[in-house]
Amino acid sequence: MTSHDVIDRVRQRLKIRKAGHTGTLDPLATGVLVLCLGRATRLSSYFADHDKTYSAHIRFGVRTSTLDAEGEVIARSGSVPGRLEDVRVAVDAFLGEIEQIPPMYSARKMDGRRLYKLAREGTEVARRPSRVRIYGIDIIEFRPPDLHLTVSSSKGTYIRTLADDIGRQLGCGAYLAGLRRTAAGPVSVDDCVALNHLESIGSEEELQPFLMDPNRLLRDLPRLNLDAVQAGRFVHGNAVTNIEAGTALESGRIVRALYPEGVLLGIGRWRAADRMLKPVRVLRQPES
């Protein structure tokens, strides 16, 4: 099941016209998929910037066409590492900022076409490497040929590619045998509800316990409190001036607009020279 399949099912079951997500999960993967419903879809691109945490299962000695368990085997090796220290050295080499080449079986676009569609046609194209950051890799268990890791990374990181690269580093090949996203920014798997449970909901009242305050997902953005007049201008798409920022804000920063304190109206761009906030995305009216 793809992330888009999840969106379709939720949209149909809850009878919601607009729905989106904040970061694609591979069909093989399970775990956290943050959904934006209704007007919250206007903020989805800002939610997508969050770092992610994964529980990954890597199997050594085999390479596949998709870099995961769903692909065809394209190479085998009888030389699988047996020492934990050798594996640890190889894994640690990928800490920090690294370059990754996006897999052919991915949703990235090349000349307007999804890479996975080209791959299904038997076409492989050169891809530009992307710079991503691996914040941490913890080895949970190593029982050759299987390695279990916890990986914390920046957005845009392909754990499939990381698995393949670790296998190359060790000279034996590897593929991603299993993947679970355990956190996306401040949202952990413990905050989530299973899809089949979500589909059993029959009313808006039953849905309420599973809705999250967008402020939680945008908590890394500075906040500005607007009064009634300022809030009225903001939600109608007009710039608001002479705002008391409270703390020095760098001009050009994206900030949260709140009214009353704690209620998110949307996000705007701050201009320090005249203490002006220009709306970028409006989420709700002050009285909503």
Give catalytic residues, as residue numbers: 26
Report yes or no: 259 and 265 within 8 Å, Cβ to Cβ. Answer: yes
Task: Give Dmax over CA atoms of the chain in angstroms.
Answer: 71
Q: Is 76 helix (H, G, I), strand (E, B) or coil?
A: strand
Report yes or no: 176 and 64 within 8 Å, Cβ to Cβ. Answer: no
In 3D space, the residue among 124, 121, 122, 172 whose CA is nearest the CA of residue 146 turns out to be 172
CA–CA separation, 53 and 147 (whole Å): 17
Report yes or no: 266 and 215 within 8 Å, Cβ to Cβ. Answer: no
How many angstroms separate the Cα of 287 from the Cα of each of 8, 105, 139, 263, 284? Answer: 30, 46, 50, 10, 8
How many angstroms separate the Cα of 20 from the Cα of each of 5, 15, 105, 157, 179? Answer: 11, 14, 21, 20, 22
